Structure 1
Amino acid sequence: MVKEALFGKTLSELQELVVELGFPKFTAKQIADWLYKKEVSSIEEMTNLSKKAREILAEKYVFGLVNSTKVQESVDGTKKYLFPTGNGKFIETAMIPDKDRKTVCVSSQVGCKMGCLFCMTGKQGFQGQLTAGEIVNQIRNIPEWEEVSNIVYMGMGEPFDNLDEVLKSTEIMTADWGFAMSPRRITVSSIGIVPGLVRFLNESEAHLAISMHTPFHEERQKLMPVEIAYPLDDVLEEIRNWDFGRQRRVSFEYIVFHGLNDTPAHVKEMARLLDGIKCRINLIRFHPIPDTPLKGTDEATLEQFKAGLEAKGITTTIRASRGQDIYAACGLLSTKALVKE
């Protein structure tokens, strides 16, 4: 029998667990402290629990931390970690240092079912959901974890297609009984699944990033099949009706492809669509992947595109390319590991 992991359980889940095992209610908070606030990795190390309690816990549960099986380090300091999953597959996690920040890019699924034309993860197909524990493990079980300043859900998978576990993971990251990180240091990126978007906005205080990649409906359908079920117009309507306040941010991710979505017409349509939405555009250089006709735009066009958006009053940044020498495009490292398997 495979034992269930304690790591990844919320305080309310731990409270149910201790009642079921006949422990005092305060034991749940003690276990949470060991899981999320202390440098331990086994039930035996939970020394403020009685020996008998630890034995009972160990009969049914494991602590639940999982080590990475491979790490690649770029010349720019970016690291990419490969983690095994419970279903025998692999996910990848990136740690990106930048001055006084260390950002960790986590995966939320094994593979992805969304089939975006530009995404290597999508070419793997969908291979399973990650648990909250497997998501948080990507932060807790890297050497830099105590120095992590920001978390982005921009790795493998679509977060809103695994929203229950994603929300549990952000709860663990931000709760006082968990890692106590500010939700303003977490950004969750989605291609725009509207029911998940509405729920996320209501149940989380983390920042939101939406993958746009083109403002035109038919063009976006070809790049992102989700446009058929959840058109960008519907996504923007929900965002426009939401009060983000002064602290919470919404941004739009835009991979710039040569001759496809880098024209003045795209700038004009983006400005029209985003009118009235306080946001930021993140322009992203395309990292080539196998078996796709897409190519990244040249630097001069990228700068012109940025200037065009800024002239329309839209705050725009060009995201720095990192880890070019270590399978930078999301999904390449895990795909290589799957092929070896």
Structure 2
Amino acid sequence: MTPTEPASATVDTAAPPVTVPTPAATPRTEVSSLTLEGLTRFLTEQLGERAFRAGQLYRWIHQRGATSFDEMTDLSKALREKLKVRAEIVPLVKDAEQRSVDGTIKYRWKTRDGRYIESVYMPSEDRKTLCVSTQVGCAMACTFCMTGTLGLKRNLTPGEIVAQVHAVNREVRRNEGLETLRPLSNLVFMGMGEPLHNFENLKTALSILQSEDGPNFSHRHITVSTVGLVPMIERFGQETDVKLAISLNASTDEQRSKTMPVNRKWNIAALLDACRKFPLRQGRRITFEYVLLRDFNDSDEDAARLIKLLEGIPAKVNLIPYNENPGLGFQTTMDERAERFRELLCAGHVAAFIRQNRGRDIAGACGQLANRGGESPSETPQSPELP
């Protein structure tokens, strides 16, 4: 007797389903972070376009401040569609704006990953200056500075650094009824972050900002401030041509190490040695920023020590009355003491000026940039990864 299959049994002869992996999307290139040379390579090598298209795209982004490819009406629609797929112009969204009684405007920008940075516009009769940020937060942890309480979140890309300039140019054109594409005249890299801690991105941003096909800022109108990353000061002098400012703020290592942890790695002697070796254009001086803290670094003895420290360095000193921050434990020097300090420096043949604080009433002055927009400070701030 031939056995038979049970009636309920079935034989599945179909092949198992084949799962085809979905190819990962090609990451878009942040074209607003590219120099003209880099943009030319991208367009010719990656998109198969002719080189002259790079100049058109570059001028749209960095002269006109375009934020979308649809604005670029002299590019073909086919190229604009291709750029939408393969490229991006990094966005900064204005999240808040505060206006000071002195005309200063503080802008808070939201980045694409939900972080917040600030930049400060300071107009005056003869110039329009923007204070630019280079990092989200800061790793330097200076004890008198609010930004230092955030810790370092991340570096800004070259495109995010430059986007602050483009965005404020747009704001100034609209607010002041100006037609010029670049109403800003001066840039100071004294906002959130340590610029030389983000050196490669800073250098690229400077190249874009100084380019003839871009904003075309003069080297005479750009100043970069550092807390004193000594190895990077040498590179900065060799690889850029803009002005250098040193955030000194003390006349002794004991003082400086208490308020600026970077001094424990590179003390005042090492910092000033780097300044003496710094290549300066004829007639140019290094600016030394000195935040005056009451009964801490503002005595006659401090002034005498500072004169001695700066011997042999083409220098000028910007004395900055401290902008008080809640919870940081420092007080500002009285006006009479600040003027006395300035007079002592001048008597010692050191050019010294008291900086006019701008935007203090909107927490937009030196050392006050830390508007988190909902962010919390790092529970354990990142330690500086110094060169």
TM-score, length-scaled by structure 2: 0.84
Retained in 1: the 8 A contact 2:146–2:370? no
Question: Which one is further off, 264-273 or 203-212?
Answer: 264-273
Q: In the alignment, which residue of structure 1 is the partner of 2:92?
A: 66
Retained in 2: the 8 A contact 1:92–1:331? no
Q: In the alignment, which residue of structure 2 is the partner of 1:184?
A: 220
SS at structure 1 position matched to 2:362: coil
Instruction: Give 1:328 shift.
Output: 2.9
SS at structure 1 position matched to 2:241: coil
Alignment of 1:72-111 (within 5 A): 72-111=98-137
Q: In the alignment, which residue of structure 2 is the partner of 1:144?
A: 172
Q: In the alignment, which residue of structure 2 is the partner of 1:41?
A: 67
SS at structure 2 position matched to 1:335: coil
- C-alpha separation between the residues in 2 aligned to 1:323 and 1:101? 16
Match of 1:157 among 193, 205, 230: 193
TM-score, length-scaled by structure 1: 0.95
SS at structure 2 position matched to 1:141: helix
Retained in 2: the 8 A contact 1:65–1:141? no
Instruction: Give 1:100 shift.
Output: 2.1
Q: In the alignment, which residue of structure 2 is the partner of 1:6?
A: 31
Residue 173 (1) aligns with residue 209 (2): yes
Q: In the alignment, which residue of structure 1 is the partner of 2:316?
A: 280
Residue 130 (1) aligns with residue 156 (2): yes
Instruction: Give 1:247 shift.
Output: 4.6
Q: 1:131 to 1:59 in 2, by over 3 A?
A: same
Q: In the alignment, which residue of structure 2 is the partner of 1:338?
A: 375
Q: 1:172 to 1:332 in 2, by over 3 A?
A: closer
- 2:34 is aligned with what amino acid? K
- C-alpha separation between the residues in 1 aligned to 2:65 and 2:38? 21
Question: Which one is further off, 196-205 or 320-329?
Answer: 320-329
Question: Which one is further off, 17-26 or 220-229?
Answer: 17-26
Runs of 4+ aligned structure 1 residues displaced above 6 Å come to none
Alignment of 1:235-246 (within 5 A): 235-246=271-282
- C-alpha separation between the residues in 2 aligned to 1:83 and 1:321? 22
Root-mean-square deviation (CA, aligned residues, Å) is: 1.7
Residue 260 (1) aligns with residue 296 (2): yes
- C-alpha separation between the residues in 2 aligned to 1:63 and 1:138? 13
Match of 1:229 among 265, 270, 273: 265
- C-alpha separation between the residues in 2 aligned to 1:88 and 1:336? 9
SS at structure 2 position matched to 1:294: coil
SS at structure 2 position matched to 1:267: helix
- 2:141 is aligned with what amino acid? G
- C-alpha separation between the residues in 1 aligned to 2:78 and 2:319? 56
Larger Rg: 2
SS at structure 1 position matched to 2:102: coil
Q: In the alignment, which residue of structure 1 is the partner of 2:338?
A: 302
Unaligned stretches of 5+ in structure 1? none
Unaligned stretches of 5+ in structure 2? 1-24, 174-181, 378-387
Retained in 1: the 8 A contact 2:91–2:112? no
- C-alpha separation between the residues in 1 aligned to 2:158 and 2:321? 30
Residue identity over aligned pairs, in percent, reads 36
Q: In the alignment, which residue of structure 2 is the partner of 1:22?
A: 48
- 1:244 is aligned with what amino acid? L
Q: 1:287 to 1:331 in 2, by over 3 A?
A: closer
Retained in 2: the 8 A contact 1:206–1:248? no
SS at structure 1 position matched to 2:78: helix
Alignment of 1:212-223 (within 5 A): 212-223=248-259
Question: Which one is further off, 245-254 or 291-300?
Answer: 245-254
- C-alpha separation between the residues in 1 aligned to 2:373 and 2:156? 20
Retained in 1: the 8 A contact 2:104–2:359? yes
Retained in 2: the 8 A contact 1:82–1:333? no
Match of 2:77 among 32, 51, 56: 51
- C-alpha separation between the residues in 1 aligned to 2:369 and 2:53? 43
Question: Which one is further off, 33-42 or 174-183?
Answer: 33-42
Q: In the alignment, which residue of structure 1 is the partner of 2:17?
A: none
- C-alpha separation between the residues in 2 aligned to 1:251 and 1:226? 19
SS at structure 2 position matched to 1:195: helix
- C-alpha separation between the residues in 2 aligned to 1:66 and 1:213? 33
Partner deviation per Cα, 1:124-180 (whole Å, 9 max, x = no partner): 111111011111111110212622111000000000100011111111111112211
SS at structure 2 position matched to 1:197: helix
- C-alpha separation between the residues in 2 aligned to 1:298 and 1:327? 19
Aligned residues: 340
SS at structure 1 position matched to 2:118: strand
